[in-house]
Structure 1
Amino acid sequence: MNKSLITNLVAALLLVAGVLLNNTLLSLVGLFALSGGLTNWLAIHMLFEKVPGLVGSGVIPAQFEAFKNAIKTLMMEQFFTQANIDRFVSGQDSQVHLHLQPVIEKVDLSPSFDKLVDVIMNSSFGSMLSMFGGASALTPLKEPFVLNMKQSLIELTQQESFIELLKNQIDQPNVMAEIRAKSKKLLMPG
């Protein structure tokens, strides 16, 4: 059921109860609540629907493109300014940190192990390893390799030097322009 309808029904019930009980305060509370609810309903209806004879009704559909462009301009000029994007990327605004650990934990490093096995098999160790079962002899090392590689990558991405390199890469003018363009596209698709 519609919330405004419920509110208006409660207000109408208060008005009727006040009249029946001859209670002026209850009648006035009901009357003011009902008049306020009906006024709000009419005002919102008039924003979206053209009502014949009422000047200014249907203003949102009539001016939709202008509203949309004004909101886009406001967002781009007030929030997605070059200075704000620079502050966000450099972490000056707050505790903005790029945590790569969840991403690294989800990455499948099995192809990396497979490439390592290929390198070993194509090296001088390959012929020696063939005596001990070849590439399949390295299979038990796959899980420890993947776990250790993920831990190593997580530790690497938490180092201050890596974070600084990443910030410097993101802070490039072409990257900043791309972030701003994507922000603009998100605000105004099409």
Structure 2
Amino acid sequence: MNKSIITNFIALVATLSGFYLGHNILYTVGLFALSGAITNWLAIHMLFEKVPLLYGSGVIPARFEEFKLAIRQLMMEQFFTKENIDRFLSTGSGAASSIDLTPVIEKVDLTPAFNNLVTVIEGSSFGPMLAMVGGSEAIQPMKEPFIEKMKASIKEISQSDQFNKLLREELEQPDMIANMQDKVSDIIEKRLNELTPQLVKEIIQAMIKKHLGWLVVWGGVFGGIIGLIAAVTSSF
């Protein structure tokens, strides 16, 4: 916005100088430049702020619901379409082929799996033999080695090409893709519902307001050019 202040200041100085010096061309150029710069500055200000008695001002915060809807439509209709999701999953570098389940596997508690194994052994023909050597307590020292070996086996399976192929085929099912699209839509919807008119205004300001200062500069430049043309032609 420094560009806006400098442009308006230069135009004002030119206008006042032309007026007090009686220099018609300088006065006209400064006046037209000032009017162009101020008009564009006011237009930019009216985008973000409500100005009393000026209909249509504050359009961005006033229309924030429409902005939210437009953002949602853009995301769902251009980025997260069923075709794009299917294309992403179908490529060699898609989610199904590049997903790393190791962190998940490390966090999984496999104690129930060991307990179920103990229960199966106790209910089998080996149950009486196990009872003779102390029952289930006798194989408790096997728990940690069992869990480590089980996790290693699951990791190996999850990294195999066959597993990735099956996972990709499952993710590419129409119902799965539609479910993924619905979940993405819900995430976007929840995030957009957190937005307020003030937040929408701040987001858009952060993106474009610093660049809109050039509108003020060019408003002053073209206004000055028009003023020069008007001053020159009026002297004939």
Q: TM-score, normalised by structure 1?
A: 0.73
Shift of 1:97: 0.7
Q: Larger radius of gyration, structure 1 or 2?
A: 2
Equivalent position amino acid for 1:62 in 2: A
Q: Is the 8 A contact 1:90 1:171 kept in 2?
A: yes
Deviation readout 1:79-106 (Å, 9 max, x if unpaired) = 0011210122224466861111110011
Shift of 1:125: 0.5
The number of residue pairs the alignment matches comes to: 157
Q: Is the 8 A contact 1:87 1:93 kept in 2?
A: no
CA, structure 1 residues 66+166, in 2 after alignment: closer, same or farther (shift >3 Å)? same
Equivalent residue for 1:141? 142
Q: How does 1:66-81 map to 2 (within 5 A)?
A: 66-81=66-81
Structure-1 separation of matches of 2:183 and 2:52 = 42
Which sections of structure 1, spanning at least 5 residues, go unmatched? 16-34
Deviates more, 1:45-54 or 1:75-84: 45-54
Where 2:126 maps in the other structure, the secondary structure is helix
Q: TM-score, normalised by structure 2?
A: 0.59
Equivalent residue for 2:65? 65
CA, structure 1 residues 165+129, in 2 after alignment: closer, same or farther (shift >3 Å)? same
Which sections of structure 2, spanning at least 5 residues, go unmatched? 10-36, 194-236
Equivalent residue for 1:107? 108
Structure-1 separation of matches of 2:134 and 2:61 = 74
1:150 to 2:151 alignment: yes
Q: Tell me the C-alpha RMSD between the 2 structures.
A: 2.8
Equivalent position amino acid for 2:129 in 1: M
1:181 to 2:196 alignment: no
Structure-2 separation of matches of 1:142 and 1:175 = 37
CA, structure 1 residues 101+143, in 2 after alignment: closer, same or farther (shift >3 Å)? same
Structure-1 separation of matches of 2:150 and 2:102 = 12
Q: How does 1:79-98 map to 2 (within 5 A)?
A: 79-92=79-92, 97-98=98-99
Seq. identity, % = 50
Structure-1 separation of matches of 2:171 and 2:143 = 34
Structure-1 separation of matches of 2:171 and 2:93 = 16
Where 1:119 maps in the other structure, the secondary structure is helix
Deviation readout 1:115-140 (Å, 9 max, x if unpaired) = 00000011010100111110000100
Higher relative contact order (CA 8 A, sep 6+): 2
Structure with greater helix share of residues:
2
Equivalent position amino acid for 2:121 in 1: I
Equivalent residue for 1:126? 127
